[in-house]
Structure 1
Amino acid sequence: MHDFEYQALPARAVFGAGAAHTRLSGEFDRLGATRILLVATERERPLVDELVAPFANRVVATFTGVRQHVPVAVAQQARELAASVGADAVLAVGGGSTTGTAKAIALTTGLPVVAVPTTYAGSEVTPLWGLTENGRKTTGTDPVVLPRAVVYDPELTLTLPADLSATSGLNAMAHCVEAFWAPRRNPISSLVAEEGIRALATGLPAVVACGDDLEARSEVLYGSYLAGVALAGAGTGLHHTICHVLGGAFDLPHAATHAVVLPHVLAFNAPGAPDAARRIGRALGGGDPVHALRALGTQLGIPRGLRELGMREDQIDEAVALVAATVPADNPVPVDAAALRGLLRAAWAGEPGTTEEEQP
C-alpha cells in the first residue's frame, strides 16, 4: 500500500425515484433559504415549474440563459440577477452546463447551491468549476462551488434521448477512468471509480435499448454519482485537459467530446498504468479495456471521431499546442507534441492510433 491523502468532501446526496418531487423543498428548509434563484434551460421549464410548485413562493427569479462551457458573459449575467433579487440560495435543475452556471454564481457570491441533475454529468458532487472566454476554457477548484445537496431522481432522466444518454454516460465514465491516474489518485477514489465504471457499463446498454427502463436509469445515475465522487477525490488529468481545450477552443459538444476521446487516452495511458488498465477492464466485464470500451461505444452508437462533432483537421495542430502547455507532469506515459498529435489525429479520424494497435 502506497502512502496517500484523501480529502472527503461534505457533499450530501439524496437518491431515489420521485425524490425531486418529495424531498427538494426539505433541502432548502435545511439551508434556511427563502429567496431562491432557479437556474434551468428553457427546455427544462415545464419540469422545473412542476418541481418547485410546493415552494414556488420562495423562488424569486429564474435564469434560463445557460450555455455550454459557461461563457464568462453568461456567468456575469447570472451573478447580476442573483444580486438584483437578493437571492440566498441557488437551485440548478438540468445537465452539466446548468450546474456549471450555478457554480459560477457560487464562486463569486458564496451562495449555497442545490443541484438536481437530469443527465449523467457527475459534476454536481465536485468542487470543480469552468468558465470560457475568447475560445479558452479556464478551470479551477474551490469548495465554495460544491453544491450543498444533490437530489438524484432517476425518473427525471427517463426522457433523456438515447444518444444524449450514451454520451453523457460515457462522459461520466471518463471521470472514473481518469481517476486511476489523475494527480491526486488514491485507493479510495480508485475503488469508487471501479464501481462507477461497472455501474455505467451495466446500465447504459439497457438505457439506450429501452429508455423507460427505470432500473437501468437508476444504475447509470448511481454510476454518474460515483464518477463525480471519484473525480472530486482524484482530480483531472490528460483526458480532461484535452476535452477542456477542445470544448473551449472549438465549441465541441461537451459530453460527446469526452465519449469520443476517452478510448484514445485510455489506449495511450494503459501501457504506463497496467494495474489501472486491469481494474478498468475488469469493471468493463473483463478482457482488454480499450477493446471493451470501443465495443461499448459502438454498441451505444457513439460518434466515431471528432470530425463527426465538427472539428476540422486543420485545427489539430492548434489543439496540440494548447494541450501541450497544460499536460499533467505525472501522466503515466510521457507526453510530447508528437505523441499528442498522434492521439488527437486518431481521435479526430475515429481510427485506432499506433498505441491502440499495439495493445495485446
Structure 2
Amino acid sequence: MSPTGPFTYQALPMRVTMGAGAVAGLADELDRAGLRRVLVLCSPRQEHLGHAIARLVGDRCAGVHPHARTHVPVATAKAARAHARDVGADGCVAIGGGSAVGLGKALALEPGLPVVAVPTTYAGSEMTPVWGLTENGRKRTGRDPRVLPVSVLYDPELTVDLPAHVSATSGINAVAHAAEALYAPDTSPVVALMAEEGVRALHRALPAVVADGSDLDARAGAQYGAWLCGACLGATTMSLHHKLCHALGGTLDLPHADTHTVVLPHVLAHNLPAAPRARAALSRALGGVDDPAAAVWELGRALGAPRSLRALGMKKESVGEIVGAVLAAPYANPREVTADGLTGLLRRAWAGEEPVAAGAVHRPGRG
C-alpha cells in the first residue's frame, strides 16, 4: 500500500488558460470547441464586458444576454434558454462571476450548450460540475459533468475594475471550497495539495488586491488560487458550509459570496476539531496560525468584508427556518450537526460574533 493509503482521484476534463491578455485567445478556444454562434452571458452590472466579448468574437456572436442573477432563478434560466434557441446559438461564453457562470451551467444542462468561461471574480465555480437553480425560495443543486466549461480563460486584466469588496468576498468564497475539500469524505492527497496551495495563494494575494486594484501580479495570484480551490470543490463532496450557504441564499436571497464570507469561520470552528489533517493544512496555508477559523475571521476583517448575516439582511427569526432546511437534507460532514449546535452557529454568524467551537464559551466579536 502507498504511504498515503488507498484513494481515488477523478481528473475533470477541462482546458485552462491563465495570464494577462489570455482573453485575446477566445476565438481560438471557440475553434477548439467547434463553436460558430455563441450567446454571451453576463450580469447587468457587467454588460459592458459582455459587449467587449461580443466585439472580440465578431460574427460568431449571436447576441449578448445581460440578465444573469445570483442563485440562478429558474425563470432566469428559462429566459436564457429561450433566447439561445431563438438566436440559434450553438454555445455560450459566460463572462463575470458566479451568476454568469451559473447561468452558463444552466444552459449546458439544458439544452446542452457548451460553455467557455471567462471569470472576473475569484469564486472558482467555473471549475466545478456543480449547478444550482432557485425556485420558490429553495435552491436545488446537483453535479453533472455536462455543465463543466469546455475551456476557462483567466485574465487578470479583466479584474482590475472589480470592487475591493467583491474581490475580498469572492476570494474567501474560494477559500471555503478548499477548506471543505480538505475534510470531504472523498478527498485525496492530490486534492489536499491543491487545496492547501490554493488557500495559501489567496491568503497572500487578497490583501494586495484590496490595497491596490491595479496590481496585476496580485490579481493573477488570486486567480491562480481560485482555480485551485474551485477544482477541489469540483472533485469532492460538499459539507456543512455549502449546505448552509445554499439554504441561506436560496431561502433568503442573501448575496452569495458575502454569505460564504460570514459563515465560513463559524463552520470551520465547528468542524476542524474533528478534522485534524484539514486543520493542519489550513494552519500551514494561512501562515502557520494556531486557529484557522480565527485566522479566516481576521482575514475577512482586514479585507473589510461583512461580519454578520444581520448586515446582509437576514432576520434573527429566520434562524429556525434555516436550521430546519439544513437538517432536512442529509450530507457528509466530519462532525455531527445537531439542531442546538447549528442554532448556536447561526446565531453567532447572525450577530457578527467571533467563531467558536460548538459548546465552547464564546465572547462577542467586532461587528
TM-score where L is the length of structure 2: 0.94
Distance 2:272 2:237 in 1: 18
1:303 to 296, 302, 306: 306
- 2:75 matches 1:77: no
Task: Please state how far the C-alpha of 1:331 moved relative to its aligned partner.
Answer: 1.4
Letter in 2 for 1:43: R
Give a deviation string over 1:187-238, Cα, whole Å, max 9, x none: 1111100000000000000111111111111100110010110101112111
1:214 to 213, 216, 240: 216
Task: Please state how far the C-alpha of 1:50 moved relative to its aligned partner.
Answer: 2.4
Q: How many residues align?
A: 357
**Would you say the 8 A contact 1:183–1:236 is kept in 2?**
no
Tell me what 2:11 maps to. Answer: 8
Task: Please state how far the C-alpha of 1:174 moved relative to its aligned partner.
Answer: 0.5
Distance 2:287 2:356 in 1: 24
Task: Please state how far the C-alpha of 1:358 moved relative to its aligned partner.
Answer: 6.5
2:286 to 280, 284, 287: 284
Segments of structure 1 that go 5 or more residues without pairing to the other structure are none
1:101 to 100, 103, 107: 103
Give a deviation string over 1:38-80, Cα, whole Å, max 9, x none: 1112332322322332422111122112111000011011111
Dislocated runs of 4+, deviation >4 Å: 356-359
Tell me what 2:267 maps to. Answer: 265
Distance 1:147 1:172 in 2: 18
Distance 2:187 2:33 in 1: 32
Tell me what 1:319 maps to. Answer: 322
Tell me what 2:45 maps to. Answer: 43
- What percentage of aligned pairs have identical amino acids? 54
**Would you say the 8 A contact 1:169–1:220 is kept in 2?**
yes
Distance 2:293 2:37 in 1: 48
Tell me what 1:60 maps to. Answer: 62
Matched ranges for 1:99-248 at <5 A: 99-248=101-250
Query: Comparing 59-68 with 148-157, which one deviates more in the overlay?
Result: 59-68
Segments of structure 2 that go 5 or more residues without pairing to the other structure are 363-367
Distance 1:84 1:52 in 2: 17
Query: Comparing 77-86 with 241-250, which one deviates more in the overlay?
Result: 77-86
**Would you say the 8 A contact 1:130–1:140 is kept in 2?**
yes
Tell me what 1:28 maps to. Answer: 30
Structure 2 CA distance for partners of 1:27 and 1:84, relative to 1, 3 Å:
same
Structure 2 CA distance for partners of 1:333 and 1:261, relative to 1, 3 Å:
same
Query: Comparing 219-228 with 56-65, which one deviates more in the overlay?
Result: 56-65
Query: Comparing 194-203 with 83-92, which one deviates more in the overlay?
Result: 83-92
2:133 aligns to what SS in structure 1?
A: strand
**Would you say the 8 A contact 2:184–2:334 is kept in 1?**
no
**Would you say the 8 A contact 1:36–1:58 is kept in 2?**
yes
Letter in 2 for 1:130: G
Task: Please state how far the C-alpha of 1:32 moved relative to its aligned partner.
Answer: 1.8
Letter in 2 for 1:292: A
**Would you say the 8 A contact 1:237–1:327 is kept in 2?**
no
Structure 2 CA distance for partners of 1:89 and 1:214, relative to 1, 3 Å:
same
Distance 2:355 2:303 in 1: 21
Distance 1:35 1:182 in 2: 39
TM-score where L is the length of structure 1: 0.96
Distance 2:250 2:48 in 1: 30
Task: Please state how far the C-alpha of 1:354 moved relative to its aligned partner.
Answer: 4.7
**Would you say the 8 A contact 1:183–1:237 is kept in 2?**
no
Structure 2 CA distance for partners of 1:54 and 1:318, relative to 1, 3 Å:
closer
